[in-house]
Structure formats: C-alpha cells, structure tokens
Amino acid sequence: MKFDISKFIKPWAMEIEPYIPGKTMKGYIKLASNENNYGPSQRVIEALQKGIEEVNIYPYRDEELRGKVADYCKVDRENVILGNGSDELMDLIFKIFKGPILGVNPSFSGYKIFTLALGEKYLEINLKEDFGFPLDEFIEKSKEANILILCSPNNPTGGVISEEDIKAVLDQGKITVVDEAYYEFYGKSFVPLISEYPNLIVLRTFAKAFALAGLRIGYAISNSGIINALYKVKPPFNVNSLALVSAIAALDSKDYMKTTVERIKIDREILFRELSKKFKAFRSEANFILMDVSPIKATEFFENLLKKGIIVRAFGKFSGFIGEYVRISVGTSEENRKLIEALEDI
Ligand SMILES: Cc1ncc(COP(=O)(O)O)c(C=O)c1O
C-alpha cells in the first residue's frame, strides 16, 4: 500500500526539528546532559527498592510530594503542580495559555519544540554578543507575544538574569515562565516573586541537582489560579509512583544533594580555569560550562574527546553568533580530572 504521511500530518508539525538528546554509551564518561553524576542519595535508592512493591497500583503520593515541594520552596501546596519532567509542564503551560511564545536564542530547545507541536508561533530574539540578557529588545518584542519564557541560569550559556530585569519583564503583564532547572547550582530564585506577580510561573526539576533525570519529575510554582488552570490539562497520573517516592526521599535527604552540589560548584570553578587556558569559556552559574572551541570545529572537538572515552555536547554554530560551541557538564571530581587530562593534546 502506498501511504503518504504528509496528507495526514498537521502542517505546523512538519517544521519541528526533533530534540536530540546527549549521547549515552556504556563505559564512557558522559558530560553531555547536565546530569548529576554523583547519583541520588542512598535514601532514594532504598525508596525505589521499596516502591517496586507497589507498582501494581496507581500513583497516590502526589499530594504528599506537593506538600514537601511547597516546604522546600517556602510556598503553599496550592502553589505547586508536579509534572513528568519540567518538560511536561512547559507543554501544559503552552496548551492552556494562548501563544505566541517568546524566548531567547540560544536557550533550551524544548521551548520551541513544544510550541510548534501545538501549532503556536515561537518568537525568538538573540541574547547579546556576550550572551547577556537583552532587556530592551525583549520587552519590545514581548508586545507581540502572550507567553514569555526565560531560563535562569540559562541552558546552554550558564548566564543568569537579574531580579531587576525579571521584574521589568513581569511588569509587561504577560504570562511569564522562568525555568530554574539549574537553581540549586546558583542559589537565587524568583519563587518569592509569585506573591507579587500573579503572571509568574517558575519551573523546577528533580533531574539536575537531585540526580533523578531518568525518573522524569519536575514541578511548577505559581499562584493558585494558574496552578488550577494547569490542573485542567494535566493528564491523570502523569507522574509515576517510583518518581514520586524517589522525589519524596530526595527531599528527605536534601543534605546529600547539597553536598554534591557544593562539590560540583567548586569543581566548576577549577574546570573553568583549566578550560579558559585553551578556549573561550563562559562563566556559568549552573553545572555546565559553554565554550567556543574555534578554530577547531565543535564536531571535531567532540570526536577527539569521544576517542578518549568522554562524551560532551557539540552545538556547533548558534544562529546569529560567531563561534563553534561545545557544552561540557561538570562531572564528578574524578571525571573532571580525566577530562582535563584528555584535553592536554587537543
Ligand atoms: C533549562 C532546562 N529546562 C528543562 C529541562 C528538562 O528538564 P526535565 O528533565 O525536568 O524535563 C532541561 C534539560 O536539560 C533544561 O536544560
């Protein structure tokens, strides 16, 4: 049978370039997806083992976790919604609120994918040449959008947005999403602004500092009006029971996470100094460092490290920017040492 998929597919979906995840290969050091390579706490491992006994029943501990997340973020439970990764919450936000959606370039590629999948328009303005936040241009462009999405610390640049700039953006009165996936590595949050700004949604995840990327769990913090709206489009049982018990255990053993984060922050500075000796590295408040490796091509740099058993993320060119970009996650101290050694003859 001859079958032409293009007759059936929604026309706007044709434009989507699917998300390309960081490579994972057994036995290799993976520094490509900004995971926490120390892994989760022992308490999480034990909770997972115990959680297996209940996989025959639907997840039921979401309210308990909402309460723990609320305590962690110093908000009320009604200010919290859980998602199957913070990815899912982006999707829900773009589903319930009208577009267009405005973001910056370069930033997390998921924003554009989720927007286009819903047939909405994605607008974008470039960061400044040094990857700083271009407040005036962003505010000007925000007049054409209904949802504004920003990331601080920003993936892949590692830069942050000041509170003054965020307030100026919030003052435009649009739905404003601030993705704080890397909050724990930075330490400053815009969550306290939710009481002042009813249009603010902060996204967080358990995938990075808490080392639960494989379980897919994130959350959004906002005023109860927005949270209730998001509940209208939330699939039932969107977060699985093993993710719930793990996140509960992770919040019950926060000190472990904090210890690994402190180590990663110290190593980030060591790595920054080492990388800066050879390449143009950008200061980062997250658990990764962006570098311009030109005149070497990003793909060549990637292949060279791959031969030495290390996987990094090669972006190549960012549209509108000069350079060949590679992002390297900060691994364990041992992995970082191996990386520095491997870079010696590159
Ligand atoms: C800025 C940013 N937001 C969200 C995500 C996805 O988070 P999650 O795993 O919770 O869906 C990532 C993953 O790399 C990210 O970098």
The segments of the chain whose pLDDT lies below 70 read none
Q: How many domains does the chain have?
A: 2
Instruction: Indicate the DSSP class of residue 78.
Output: G
Identify whether residues 55 and 10 lie together within a single domain.
no
pTM of the model: 0.96
Identify whether residues 80 and 170 lie together within a single domain.
yes
Six-digit token string for 269: 């500075």
Identify whether residues 9 and 131 lie together within a single domain.
no
Residue 24 confidence (pLDDT): 85
| Residue from 16, 46, 12, 101 nearest 252 by CA | 46
Residue 176 confidence (pLDDT): 98
Residue 346 confidence (pLDDT): 84
Residue 198 confidence (pLDDT): 98
pLDDT in tens, 49-94: 999 999 999 999 999 999 999 999 999 999 999 999 999 999 999 9
Q: Tell me which residues have their CB closer than 6 angstroms to ligand 1.
A: 34, 85-87, 108, 151, 155, 179, 181, 205, 207, 213, 218
Residue 150 confidence (pLDDT): 98
Choosing from 108, 111, 201, 240 the residue with most ligand 1 atoms within 8 A of its CB, the one to mutate for a pocket test is: 108
Looking at ligand 1, which residue's alpha carbon is closest to its atom 3? 181
Identify whether residues 171 and 56 lie together within a single domain.
yes
Residue finishing a domain among 193, 226, 254: 254
State the Cα–Cα distance between residues 31 and 336, nearest whole angstrom: 9
Report the separation in Å between the CA atom of 213 and the middle of ligand 1, taken as the mean of its atom positions: 9
Looking at ligand 1, which residue's alpha carbon is closest to its atom 16? 155
Choosing from 205, 212, 288, 290 the residue with most ligand 1 atoms within 8 A of its CB, the one to mutate for a pocket test is: 205
| Residue from 178, 226, 198 nearest 80 by CA | 226
CATH number at residue 110: 3.40.640.10
The domain in which residue 19 lies consists of: 5-39+255-343
State the Cα–Cα distance between residues 281 and 342, nearest whole angstrom: 17
Residue 18 confidence (pLDDT): 86
Residue 13 confidence (pLDDT): 86
